Amino acid sequence: MRYALVSYRCRLSSAIRIIGSHAQVLVNGRSTEPPALTGSARGMKSAFLFLPLYFGLIIGFIGKSVEIGLVGAGFGMFFAFLVSGKANRGSLRWRRARATMAEIDAMNGAEFEAYVAERLRRAGWEVEFTPAVGDYGVDVIAQKDGQWAAIQCKRHGRPVGVAAVQQVVSGAAHHGCTRSIVISNQEFTSAAKQLAATHGCQLIGRSALQNWVPPPRRRAPAPNNRPRPAASKR
């Protein structure tokens, strides 16, 4: 009996080391956190993910069965990964929606489309992306209160020209949308504005986009730097 218990403990320790090392590599390889994540936060995240692993192995230790422990740990880790992935996606969407103009200017095309989609969701729109190939000049289709809008997202380094307006207007007709919109981090050329006015296409440029960006937080002045009330004159 004592020999069987010692043998089980050895196998259990080996299983913990092997699974723990492989799982740690998996987390590091699939991490979606920014590089600025501190070591303590990463450690807390790893502890949360692998707590079911050790809990399942402890159950197996009590039941004197490595197989039962591994099965329980596997189910626990699967559930923990699902919860962690959902939390990461929600955190990423929250950070994306609160991007500053400097962060928006640094985005690529796909990131800017995701930013626009998240802002629309927060405004009550139902959003779907068109296929990457054959989108007919439309990146996002949004629906709200029975209105369907075809949206083209332009993350540019210069003013947007007439081509974007032409594409989204024709794409809106193809997708059966009643509205066409071009959203950009830059302004639009005079020709683009004229063509948009002709076709009733809404243009949202940099000045309007800045209204989507939350204002920066203002720090309260330090106690020593606060203005003192003026002395009353007698």
Residue type for position 20: G
pLDDT, tens digit only, all 234 positions of the chain: 555 545 555 555 555 555 555 444 444 443 333 333 334 444 544 555 556 656 666 665 565 566 665 666 666 565 555 544 443 444 444 455 578 889 999 999 999 999 999 999 988 999 999 998 888 999 999 999 999 999 999 999 999 999 999 999 999 999 999 999 999 999 999 999 999 999 999 999 999 988 877 655 455 455 555 455 555 554
* Whether the Cβ atoms of residue 168 and residue 138 lie closer than 8 Å to each other: yes
pLDDT at 92: 46
Q: 112 with 204, same domain?
A: yes
Q: 125 with 198, same domain?
A: yes
Question: Phi and psi at residue 132, in whole multiples of 5°?
Answer: -65, -30
Report pLDDT digits (tens) over 39-76: 444 454 455 555 665 666 666 556 556 666 566 666 65
Report pLDDT digits (tens) over 146-173: 999 999 999 999 999 999 999 999 999 9
pLDDT at 204: 96
* Whether the Cβ atoms of residue 205 and residue 186 lie closer than 8 Å to each other: yes
Q: 18 in a domain, yes or no? A: yes
pLDDT at 97: 59
- Report the greatest alpha carbon distance in the chain: 96
Q: 204 in a domain, yes or no? A: yes
pTM for the structure as a whole: 0.55
Number of domains composing the chain: 2
Tokens 């380094």 appear where?
157
Q: 88 with 20, same domain?
A: yes
pLDDT at 41: 42
Q: 60 in a domain, yes or no? A: yes
Q: 82 in a domain, yes or no? A: yes
Q: Containing domain of residue 161, as a range? A: 101-209
* Whether the Cβ atoms of residue 57 and residue 77 lie closer than 8 Å to each other: no
Q: 106 with 16, same domain?
A: no
